[in-house]
Amino acid sequence: MFFFDHPLRLCRIPKLRVKKAGLNHVGIGTDWFGFSAPPPLIEFANEIISKNGFRKEHNVDLSKRVEGFEEYSKLPNLIEGLELRGYNRREIQKIAGGNFLRIFKKIVG
């Protein structure tokens, strides 16, 4: 999955987003590309990626899975990775769903 071959590398994504947007605007979605996408869509996306200059050595392939995070049941590995990166409980709660719930309640009531 993209450039991330280990859960700790995947945990860099929230840190980069937090740095740019702030902790209250970052969340983990359940729509990770590739988990539910049909193979023809993955092949099409990989074609576009290669046409945009990515080569094999860039290791960009949407059919790959991150070791330790091959399916949704492995979400605790991502949470553990955030802990290992120094996030505290309150920050993890926001990233893991608290921010979504706050916005959802604001919109829906």
Q: State pLDDT tens for residues 32-54.
A: 544 556 778 888 888 888 888 88
In the chain, % helix, strand, coil (3-state, to 5) comes to 60, 0, 40
Tens of each residue's pLDDT in the chain, 109 residues: 344 455 556 666 677 788 888 999 988 876 654 455 677 888 888 888 888 888 777 777 777 766 676 677 777 888 888 888 889 999 999 998 999 999 999 999 8
Place of tokens 């829906």: 108
Place of tokens 């995947």: 10
**Whole-number pLDDT of residue 34:** 45
The rounded distance, in Å, linking the Cα atoms of 93 and 79 is: 9
